[in-house]
Copies of this chain bind each other. A is one copy, B any other.
């Protein structure tokens, strides 16, 4: 069973927004056993949308269309779908009442005629109510193929997928089982890893596909399989993983499942009843932000400091001015006092710090661009490591953030 995702909107093609909806859709469809064959982003142009609908109908069983459902003139998806299905728009009273309710409860402005047109839907469409916005989702069928049109606003689309689309799809089709298992490794490059596990890779069973996903200091190995026989597939994947692990013991961090490493760390801290504080310099808030993006972070994350200016390391974190003058802000001693002092200030079990130079120019230190010290403090000791993460600003920040997570995870899981 194949799906195609069509995202509609000039803003995607001119790069004004990044299409994050497709990744969400890909992930969710995969979970229920639907492979995404293709993602196609097209302009707000009737001819182009019609063409892409036709091509998608040839390639896929399920076509999910996002975007172009707003109340303004540049939003033409609904009319174009109407034309594709040789249909007309009719008013849906439930949607109209919902739109009126949203305006009364949240928007607190008189409702406009253009808002009311949100209640017009193709007569052949089944309406999927959009709790968080005025544009309803629409489900249409043609020659055994399913077309689902959803608003482009991410949280509206996500809620519709979770609450309406996936349950309806599961009702309608019997899906094969898709399984991915992603092995997280840190510290060895893609090609060196491939070289090491070449024999294993060459002997993988036909139904298992392997992908290398390298990114700034880590390589994820993804094993994927698809089968109508769930238990056979699971067994096969687990057998292959069991053969792999002894070969990568030194670089294996864990399995990715659904969760990024900061969520895994958060879960461990929560289970252990332990807490964390962060002192960031070159990573500039990225570590804190990654933790606090997740609900439940307040259980373990007490807070953080970004001491971007050198003087703030002294004023806010009590780093010794002498140490800075003697060793520079990018040094072992400064990284370690930052970790130690932030842990004490926030009264936590763990403190972690970064200080480095992300570039493009040297800052208040002679350290080469790309040099980063990362330190971890516990109640009993503090330690640090130094890295050189290349000369590209974004890469330095991301690599330092990833490395901080890697070090922290190891420390937390230490017996």
- Let me know if B19 and A346 touch, CB within 8 A: no
Interface string of A298-315 (1 = CB under 8 A from B): 100111111111011001
User: Closest Cβ of chain B: how far from A296's Cβ, in Å?
Assistant: 9
- Complex interface residues of chain A between 288 and 334 (CB less than 8 A to chain B): 288-289, 291-293, 295, 297-298, 301-309, 311-312, 315-316
Interchain CA distance A13-B4 in the complex, whole Å? 9
- Let me know if A191 and B72 touch, CB within 8 A: yes
- Let me know if A289 and B286 touch, CB within 8 A: yes
- Let me know if A359 and B295 touch, CB within 8 A: yes
- Let me know if A26 and B15 touch, CB within 8 A: yes
- Let me know if B297 and A308 touch, CB within 8 A: yes
- Let me know if B303 and A306 touch, CB within 8 A: yes
Interchain CA distance A325-B213 in the complex, whole Å? 49
9-residue interface stretch from A39-47, A90-98, A236-244, A404-412: A39-47
- Let me know if B13 and A26 touch, CB within 8 A: yes
When all copies of this chain in the complex are counted, the total is: 2
- Let me know if A293 and B10 touch, CB within 8 A: no
Task: State which of B11, B213, B277, B284 has its C-beta within 8 Å of the C-beta of A222.
Answer: B11
9-residue interface stretch from A29-37, A140-148, A166-174: A29-37
A395 at the binding interface (Cβ < 8 Å)? yes
A245 at the binding interface (Cβ < 8 Å)? no
- Let me know if A14 and B27 touch, CB within 8 A: yes
A17 at the binding interface (Cβ < 8 Å)? yes
A195 at the binding interface (Cβ < 8 Å)? yes
Given A14-B27, A222-B16, A285-B292, CB of A301 within 8 Å of CB of B308: yes
- Complex interface residues of chain A between 72 and 117 (CB less than 8 A to chain B): 72-74, 106-107, 109, 112-115
Task: State which of B38, B212, B303, B345 has its C-beta within 8 Å of the C-beta of A41.
Answer: B38
- Let me know if B303 and A308 touch, CB within 8 A: yes
A247 at the binding interface (Cβ < 8 Å)? no
A211 at the binding interface (Cβ < 8 Å)? yes
- Let me know if A15 and B44 touch, CB within 8 A: no
- Let me know if A298 and B114 touch, CB within 8 A: no
5 contacts between A and B (CB under 8 A): A13-B39, A38-B48, A115-B191, A155-B392, A284-B288
